[in-house]
Amino acid sequence: MIEHAATRERLAALHHDGFVLLPGVLTAPRITELRSAIDRLTPVGLDYQGLLDDHYKCVFNRDPFWLAFLDLPCVIELAEAALGADCHIIGQTAWRSRPGFIGGDLHADYLAIELPEQLLADPGLELPMQVCTAHLHLDDIDADLCPTRVIPGSHRAGRKPRLGETAWHGREPEPVLCRAGDMLFFRSDLWHSGSRNRTTDRSRYLLQVHYGRRMVAQKSRPTWHSPSTLSYWRRRPRASAGCWVNTSRPNTTDWHGPCNGTINEAAPGGLDTRPER
């Protein structure tokens, strides 16, 4: 049973629209800290730095600083409501998109199985989610600062967009405009796209957290770069779910934070550190 009314409403939005916007998840000081931390990152492994954007994967393995953003209050409650209480972290990506950046075309991140659209049109059918992504925005996002674009309800298409497809049932992607500190949470079968950074002097800073059902493997094999992260896992095992730890399991006391606020009016496999339930 979902305890908080706000979480129930947000879960309903995920089933109806495929996404939900949570306002004010991060405070101004945390936003400043995150932007500075992204500026200090250097590429490791599959990371890259380009002329127009920088992309750093699984940053939870870099420093304990990043771990606090895996299980933010209200966010972790929604992830568990959508994906099960034993869901886990499958990735955490820091992203900086400079002026001139060109976002990705219309796509869906992951679709477990294709289904006939007429089947999914039944309003009584709630298609289970397999993967969800949280976009923690560190800037005020306007139409020029490469907003993520979404097609509400397109998770019921039963398929991914075809090459060259730009709309679903005549509905084109709509920009999600928000304030710094807001979080966009969406399911992996939602049709969405990136967009251009049309500004001349602003970069978009974004922290993504990717959550999956227990049997969904991590997006990148994690490698520990900071041994001090282990002590954090022992204090906050809920955050560590699914993150690979080559050691004995920590205690299993869950960490729960408060869950308040409102929903939007618009519209290589890891070892789980929690015991089997």
CA-to-CA distance for 111 and 129, rounded, in angstroms? Answer: 9
pLDDT of residue 264: 34
Q: Judge residue 220's burial from the number of C-beta atoms within 10 Å of its C-beta, 0-12 exposed, 13-18 middle, 19 or more buried.
A: middle
For residue 222, what is the domain's CATH number? 2.60.120.620
Residue 247 has a pLDDT of 30
Asked if residue 69 belongs to a domain, the reply is: yes
For residue 164, tell me if it sits in a domain. yes
Query: Do the domain assignments include residue 129?
Result: yes
pLDDT at 114: 92
Burial of 241 (0-12, 13-18, 19+ CB in 10 A): buried
For each of the chain's 277 residues, which pLDDT tens digit applies?
Answer: 566 899 999 999 999 999 999 999 999 999 999 999 999 999 988 899 999 999 999 999 888 999 999 999 999 999 999 999 999 999 999 999 999 999 999 999 999 999 999 888 888 888 999 999 999 999 999 999 999 999 999 999 999 999 999 999 999 999 999 999 999 999 999 999 999 999 999 999 999 999 999 998 876 655 555 555 555 555 555 545 444 333 333 322 233 333 433 333 333 333 233 333 3
Residue 209, domain member (yes or no): yes
Q: How many other CB atoms are there within 10 angstroms of residue 40's CB atom?
A: 9
Report yes or no on 41 lying in a domain.
yes
Q: 């290589």: which residue's tokens? A: 268
Residue 98 lies in a domain: yes
Residue 28's SS3 state is helix
| Residue-range definition of the domain harbouring residue 224 | 5-112+125-240
The number of folded domains in the chain is 1
Contact 242/131 with Cβ under 8 angstroms?
no
The token duo for 53 is 């954007």
pLDDT of residue 261: 36
Whole-number pLDDT of residue 61: 86
Question: Quick check: is 89 in a domain?
Answer: yes
> How high is the pLDDT of residue 231?
55
Give φ, ψ of 88 to 5 degrees. -145, 170
Q: Is residue 55 part of a domain?
A: yes
